[in-house]
Amino acid sequence: MPGDQNEEYKETDGLGLKRRRSKEDEETRSRSKQRTGRLKHPVCSAEFFFWAILTLSVLMAGPDLIYRLRAEWSHRIVALIVDYRDIVSLSKEGRELPKAVYERMSENGVRGITVAEFTGRDLASGALPLKYGPLIELQPSVRAMLDHQFDRAYILIDSSEPMRRDISGYINIKKPDSKQYIIRSQGISADQTLIVLPNTVEELGDSGLLPDFAALEFSERTNAWVIYRPASSTGVDSERMAASVSWLREKYPAISCVMPSGLIIAGYPDISAFAQVLKENGLPVAQAEFVRQIGLPELFRTMLPNVIPLHSLVREELIARRLSRDQVVERMVRAVHERSNRFIFVRPYDIYNVGRLPAFVEDIGRIREALRTRGYSFGWPRTLGIFRASVFSSIAVTSIFLICLSSFIHRYFRAGKPFVSAFQVCISVIFAILMGIVVWKIPLVSRYMGGFCAAFIATEATIRSLDNYERPFAGLLAGLLIVMAGGFCIAAGYGSTAAMLRIEPFSGVKLTLLLPPVLIFANDLKNRVYPEPLVNIMLRPPLWSELLLVGGMVAAAMVLALRSDNVAFVPGWEIRFRDALERALWVRPRTKEFLVGYPCLIVYYAFVKRNWNVRWREVFRLGSSTAFASAINTFCHFHTMLPLTVVRVVNGWWLGILVGFAALVLIDRMAGPMWKKGGREIFG
């Protein structure tokens, strides 16, 4: 690929551009020497000062990093959970007793069951041994005894039923406005208890009414831990919901965790009483991954740190993704190992018509063995202790932000100085400390600082790697070290308990991905890395290469913004490709790094070395920012254990370099001949 063929800008291409920039650099160095002569008490070079600040920032963040590592490695107890109704269904299919089925599961790692609170619709379908419906369905003789509107709902249960007392007691607490009667009917040996509820059947369709008492009794017989799933209930406030849960926990001590069900949290909008009872009874809340419910964030913030992450796989997703059994097992293992979920809610394969029980038990055992080989034990998970980063980590974040910002400004205005004075060092240290205190004290400032810090770290790593095209490996290594140092500081400064539990997610993800290419492009236009200034580009007709460049940039930015933390935009073939990488490597690198970012950097080195098209270099310069932006963003996934984050970033680095060299071979074999046959006339 020869140089750009546009005669008007020929003198800026290839070696001409290099000579002109060398001349400008020489003039800059000359001015810098003059300034250095007037510089009082030079302490060190600007390059040494940059790396010294990075090193000191990591050292300041060290204590908080160590504390976080200890918390992560002490939080390695996992519980596999099954639903009681699934146990009953599988026992019928396998013609075994539910207790025998659960024992087979517990031998393979299952430690507890989920117990639902039945809604009115569940009771109408026969979930409990009782009758439920509107009063109009009762016999005329019974209705004549009642002074209620006939559209109100009722519960009718035989007095000989063992769970009658529990049902009656629970309703009295949760819905004290209910009325209870003893019905003596001819031809029926036992009396019946009639409970008239204060709501209609329609109002109670999705409203929680009664827990699955059979499941709670089952947990007592099998010594299984219970995750209770209370549902929101029409007309029941937070105090009543809290009282009903407290009564239930006192009667069934196996209840060890709560996971609200339904679209709305029980007791919403005032959840204070409900949360207080959970704390008093030592009941943490299970945090179902990727589930959104009204009131759930407020409950998690109130319950902090008594929150335990949980991962599950719903039937609809299993069908839509066409997941195989191997993929399901891998997904569950990754949910524990990479995203720190400590409850794994496993469901049988409902897409199979027969043979669910053997396949289900086998795959539970595979999940258990895979987690054991990774150092996890099985029991009932503990909650994380509550902690927040110290002021030293905030100072570390502001220090690395300021040094990267200063480096970009000096580079943009070509005002870099070879030496730093003692006065400049003192001012930098004082300003970093004051700014760090502000960030530590004011949450709003801290929130925005994180995004801008990550963006400027990625920008600095990218530009330093690009500018080292004479020594490519040194440039690649410098970029990796800058990202590592910045990532450690952000992980320490923002890796609180709330962040690790995803209650307070990192708010600068989009900024981290989109700002670096904008800054790099602005720097390239200002310093004529791109062969023309912005004014000339705006005044003349556009070239095909520039139109393709702008279109590619916009498309890439949209894809990055949409895909970031949004699995709905990830195609199935890419998921399968990721799974294959997960099996091949201990931790899968991020796709944007090893397939886009680092290969663009390697190709850019080749374009400069071979004096190829100047305008198209900008595509690869901007694409290179994806690698470092994605890498620093990986450190912002605080729910992932820090050692795994480091391995993931390093895997993306070396694998991306190999893919980049493979791309060079492909360009030499295919694109080179095509370019010579006329490509340069179209895109030159």
Give dist(CA 23, CA 17) in Å, integer: 10
DSSP string, 166-221: HHHHHHHHH-TT-EEEEE--TT-SS-EEEEEEEEETTTTTTSEEEE-HHHHHHHHH
DSSP string, 246-266: HHHHHH-TTEEEE--BSSB-T
Minimum mean pLDDT among 249-263, 463-477, 538-552: which range? 538-552
The mean pLDDT of 274-300, rounded to a whole number, is: 89
Give dist(CA 479, CA 458) in Å, integer: 8
Does residue 63 carry a pLDDT above 60?
yes
pLDDT at residue number 552:
62
DSSP character for 74? Answer: T
Whose structure tokens read 């639902």? 116
Fold of 77-127+212-378: TIM Barrel (3.20.20)
Top-confidence residue, 323 or 644: 644
Of 71-75, 141-145, 316-320, 415-419, where does the model show the most confidence?
Answer: 71-75
Give dist(CA 132, CA 125) in Å, integer: 9
Tokens read off for 637: 């996934």
The mean pLDDT of 500-513, rounded to a whole number, is: 84
Does residue 28 carry a pLDDT above 90?
no
Minimum mean pLDDT among 302-311, 318-327, 362-371, 673-682: which range? 673-682
Does residue 78 carry a pLDDT above 90?
yes
Does residue 466 carry a pLDDT above 50?
yes
Give dist(CA 377, CA 363) in Å, integer: 17
DSSP string, 502-569: TSS--S-HHHHHHHHHHHHHHHHHHTTSSSS-HHHHHHSPPPHHHHHHHHHHHHHHHHHHHHTT-GGG
pLDDT grade, residue 574 (50/70/90)? low
Positive or negative, the CA dihedral 85, 86, 90, 91 is negative
- In sequence order, the 6+-apart residues with CB closer than 8 A to the CB of 406 are none
pLDDT grade, residue 356 (50/70/90)? confident
Minimum mean pLDDT among 185-199, 306-320, 488-502, 642-656: which range? 185-199
Minimum mean pLDDT among 226-230, 412-416, 507-511: which range? 412-416
> Residue 536: exposed, middle, or buried by beta-carbon count in 10 A (0-12, 13-18, 19+)?
exposed
- % of the chain beyond a pLDDT of 90: 39
Instruction: Reply yes or no: is the peptide bond before residue 98 cis, omega within 30 of 0.
Output: no
pLDDT grade, residue 556 (50/70/90)? low
Task: Please state the separation of Cα 335 from the chain's center in Å.
Answer: 11
Read off the pTM: 0.82
Nearest to 590 by CA among 641, 631, 622: 631
Tokens read off for 77: 């107890």
Top-confidence residue, 501 or 34: 501
- According to DSSP, the β-strands at 42-45 and 419-421 are antiparallel
pLDDT grade, residue 495 (50/70/90)? confident
Does residue 676 carry a pLDDT above 70?
no
CB atoms within 10 A of CB 373: 9
- According to DSSP, the β-strands at 192-200 and 179-183 are antiparallel
Top-confidence residue, 65 or 44: 65
Whose structure tokens read 């009872």? 277
Tokens read off for 96: 């075994």
197-235: per-residue pLDDT in tens?
Answer: 988 888 888 899 999 999 999 999 999 999 999 998 888
Half-sphere exposure of residue 50: CA atoms within 13 angstroms, side-chain side: 20
Burial letters 105-124, b for 16+ CB under 10 A, else e: bbebbbbbbbbbbbbbebbb
pLDDT grade, residue 31 (50/70/90)? low
The mean pLDDT of 495-512, rounded to a whole number, is: 85
Tokens read off for 342: 């400590």
Question: Which residue type is seen at 590?
Answer: R
Could you tell me if 123 and 153 are in contact, meaning their C-beta atoms sit under 8 angstroms apart? no
DSSP string, 366-405: HHHHHHHHTT-EES-PPPPPP----HHHHHHHHHHHHHHH
pLDDT at residue number 678:
47
Could you tell me if 371 and 333 are in contact, meaning their C-beta atoms sit under 8 angstroms apart? yes
DSSP character for 118? Answer: E
Whose structure tokens read 């109670």? 204
pLDDT at residue number 13:
44
Does residue 6 carry a pLDDT above 50?
no
Top-confidence residue, 356 or 454: 454
Minimum mean pLDDT among 7-16, 97-106, 210-219, 370-379: which range? 7-16
Give dist(CA 241, CA 174) in Å, integer: 6
Top-confidence residue, 679 or 141: 141
Give dist(CA 282, CA 259) in Å, integer: 14
Does residue 24 carry a pLDDT above 70?
no
Does residue 256 carry a pLDDT above 50?
yes
The mean pLDDT of 234-256, rounded to a whole number, is: 90
Q: State phi, psi for 101 to the nearest 5 degrees.
A: -65, -45
- % of the chain beyond a pLDDT of 70: 82
Give dist(CA 312, CA 290) in Å, integer: 9
pLDDT at residue number 654:
93
Could you tell me if 243 and 274 are in contact, meaning their C-beta atoms sit under 8 angstroms apart? no
Minimum mean pLDDT among 86-100, 370-384, 402-416, 528-542: which range? 528-542
pLDDT at residue number 449:
92
pLDDT at residue number 15:
42
Query: Residue ranges of the domains in the chain?
Result: 7-27+57-72+386-683, 77-127+212-378, 128-211
Give dist(CA 199, CA 180) in Å, integer: 14
End-to-end CA distance of the chain: 10
Does residue 181 carry a pLDDT above 90?
no
Half-sphere exposure of residue 595: CA atoms within 13 angstroms, side-chain side: 9
Which runs of consecutive H residues, i.e. helices, occur in 272-314?
Answer: 272-280, 296-303
Top-confidence residue, 126 or 139: 126
pLDDT at residue number 3:
42
DSSP character for 153? Answer: E
- In sequence order, the 6+-apart residues with CB closer than 8 A to the CB of 422 are 40, 41, 43
Could you tell me if 231 and 204 are in contact, meaning their C-beta atoms sit under 8 angstroms apart? no
pLDDT at residue number 218:
94
Question: Which residue type is seen at 659?
Answer: V
pLDDT at residue number 683:
40
pLDDT at residue number 502:
86
Whose structure tokens read 């919403």? 268
